[in-house]
Chains A and B, each alone.
Chain A
Amino acid sequence: MKRKTTYYYELFWIIPSLLLPIGMLATLLFTSYGADVHLPGAEGRVDPAKLDSTPPFDNPGVVQVGPSRYEVRMVGEIWSFNPSEIHLPAGSEVTFVATSRDVVHGLFIPRTNVNVMVLPGQIARATARFDKPGTYLFICHEYCGAGHHTMAGQIIVDAADNGDRGGK
Chain B
Amino acid sequence: MATIAKLPTVVELRNEYAVTKAYLLVGFVALSGGVAMGLLQGLENAGIDLYPNLAPVVQSYYHGLTMHGVLNVLVWTTFFISGFLPFITVQALRTPLASRSLTWGTFWLMLAGLVLAAIPLVGDAASVLYTFYPPMQAHWAFYVGLTLVVVATWLVTLNLALTYRAWRKDHPAQRTPLAAFMSLVTFAMWTIASVGIAAEMLFLLIPWSLGLMQGTDALLARVLFWFTGHPIVYFWVLAAYVSWYTLVPRQGGGKLFSDPMARVAFILFLVLSTPIGFHHQFTDPGIEEEWKFVHSFLTFAVFFPSLMTFFNIVASLENGARARGGRGWVLWFFKMPWGDPSFAAQVLAMLTFTFGGIGGLINASANVDLIVHNTAWISGHLHLTAGTAVTLTFMGITYWLVPVLWKRALWSRRMALAQAWLWAAGMLIFSFALHTLGLMGMPRRTSMSAVTYALPEWQRYLPLIAIGGAILFISALLYFLNMVLTMVASKEPAPAMPEFAEAVSGPEDAPALLDRWPIWLTVAAVLILFAYGPSLYSLLRTTPLNNPGMRVW
Given A29-B293, A115-B373, A40 contacting B285 (CB threshold 8 A): yes
Query: What per-residue 1/0 map shows which CB atoms of A110-134 lie under 8 Å from chain B?
Result: 1101011101111111000000000
Interface on B for A, CB 8 Å cutoff?
Answer: 60, 62, 65, 129, 133, 135-136, 217-219, 222, 257-258, 261, 281-289, 292-293, 296-297, 300-301, 303-304, 307-308, 311, 315, 319, 361, 365-367, 369-371, 373-375, 440-441, 443-448, 450-453, 455, 504-505, 509, 542-544, 546-548, 550, 552-553
Q: How far is the CB of A106 from chain B (nearest CB, A)?
A: 6
Chain A: CB-nearest residue to B66: A143
Given A10-B261, A142-B374, A32 contacting B219 (CB threshold 8 A): no
B308 contacts across to A, CB distance below 8 A: 13-14, 17
Q: Kindly state the separation between the CA atoms of A90 and B61 in the bound complex, as whole angstroms.
A: 39
Q: Does A160 contact B (CB under 8 A)?
A: no
Given A21-B304, A102-B550, A103-B552, A117 contacting B505 (CB threshold 8 A): no
Q: Kindly state the separation between the CA atoms of A140 and B444 in the bound complex, as whole angstroms.
A: 10
Query: What per-residue 1/0 map shows which CB atoms of A35-61 lie under 8 Å from chain B?
Result: 001111111010111000000000000
Which of B288, B455, B552 touches A102 (beta carbons < 8 Å)? B552
Q: Kindly state the separation between the CA atoms of A71 and B176 in the bound complex, as whole angstroms.
A: 61
Q: How far is the CB of B318 from chain A (nearest CB, A)?
A: 11
Contact indicator A13/B361 (Cβ below 8 Å): no
Contact indicator A141/B375 (Cβ below 8 Å): yes
Query: Which one of A38, A124, A148 has the greatest number of beta carbons of chain B within 10 Å?
Result: A148
Contact indicator B370/A113 (Cβ below 8 Å): yes
Given A21-B301, A119-B286, A146 contacting B62 (CB threshold 8 A): yes
Q: Kindly state the separation between the CA atoms of A119 and B297 in the bound complex, as whole angstroms.
A: 25
Q: A24-B365, A110-B455, A143-B445 are in contact. List 16 more A-B contacts (CB 8 A).
A: A14-B308, A17-B307, A25-B296, A25-B297, A41-B285, A41-B289, A42-B285, A102-B552, A106-B374, A108-B443, A119-B219, A121-B546, A137-B455, A139-B453, A146-B62, A146-B553
5 A-B pairs with C-beta separation under 8 A: A21-B297, A21-B304, A40-B285, A103-B135, A113-B370
A141 contacts across to B, CB distance below 8 A: 373-375, 443-444, 446
Which of A32, A104, A150 touches B367 (beta carbons < 8 Å)? A32
Q: Kindly state the separation between the CA atoms of A100 and B65 in the bound complex, as whole angstroms.
A: 24
Contact indicator B300/A108 (Cβ below 8 Å): no
Interface on A for B, CB 8 Å cutoff?
Answer: 1, 3, 6-7, 9-10, 13-14, 17-18, 20-21, 24-25, 27-29, 31-32, 37-43, 45, 47-49, 78, 100, 102-104, 106, 108, 110-111, 113, 115-117, 119-125, 137, 139-146, 148-150, 152
Q: How far is the CB of B376 from chain A (nearest CB, A)?
A: 10
Contact indicator A49/B546 (Cβ below 8 Å): yes
A45 contacts across to B, CB distance below 8 A: 286, 542-544
